[in-house]
Amino acid sequence: MKQIPLQVFTDGGARGNPGPAATGFMIKTDTKILHKAGLYIGKKTNNQAEYQAVIEALIWLSQNNKHLPKEANKICFYLDSLLVVNQLNGKFKIKNPGLRELLLKIRNIEPNILLSINYSHIPREKNTEADSLVNEALDKVDKLSST
C-alpha cells in the first residue's frame, strides 16, 4: 500500500488586531479534500486566530481518526504565519501568556492523533483555500451585523 501524507492547510485572521476573527482549515490528500471549515471565533488577535485554526483542525482529526485514509502515514500542517510555525516547532519562545495557553491546548490534543505531525511555513499565496474560509466566515458575521 502506498503511504501518503495528509495535508492540513490552516489560517487565522482578524479584522483589526484585535478584532473580529475567524479560522479556516482544509484537510486533504493529494487527490481528495477530506474536510474544510471556517469558523468565527469572536474578538481575537491574528496570532490567536492562527493558533485556534490549528486547534480546530487537530480537534477534527482526533474526532475522525477512524475515518482517515488507511494509507495516511503522517500529517503535514501548512501555515502562512512564520512566527506561529517557529513557536510550534520550539524555535521561538512564546512570551504572551494567552498564546502559551493555546500552545498547551495543541500539545494536549496532539497525542490523540494516531499519526506523526509536523508544522511547516508556506507563502500566503499557497494558502488561499484556508484564507478564503477565514474571509467567508468573517463576511458572514459582517453581513449579519449590518442587517
Residue 145 is inside which H or E element, if any?
A: helix 128-146
Mean pLDDT of 89-118: 97
What pLDDT, on a 0 to 100 scale, did the predictor assign at position 147? 64
Query: How do residues 45-100 score in pLDDT, each as one tens digit?
Result: 999 999 999 999 999 999 999 899 999 999 999 999 999 999 999 999 999 999 99
Calpha distance 97→37 (Å, rounded)? 27
Longest dimension (CA), the chain: 53
Please check whether residue 80 is in contact with residue 120, taking contact to mean a CB–CB distance below 8 angstroms. Answer: no
DSSP 19: E
Calpha distance 131→80 (Å, rounded)? 9
DSSP readout, 40-95?
A: EEEEE-HHHHHHHHHHHHHHHHHHTGGGS-TTEEEEEEEES-HHHHHHHTTSS---
As beta bridge partners, residue 13 has 22
Query: How do residues 121-136 score in pLDDT, each as one tens digit?
Result: 999 999 999 999 999 9
* 89-95: long-range contacts, CB 8 A cutoff, minimum separation 24: 89/119
Query: How do residues 9-32 score in pLDDT, each as one tens digit?
Result: 999 999 999 999 999 999 999 999
Taking the alpha carbons at both ends of the chain, their separation in whole angstroms is 53
Radius of gyration of the chain, Cα coordinates, nearest whole angstrom: 15
Q: Which domains does the chain have, with CATH numbers?
A: 4-140 (3.30.420.10)
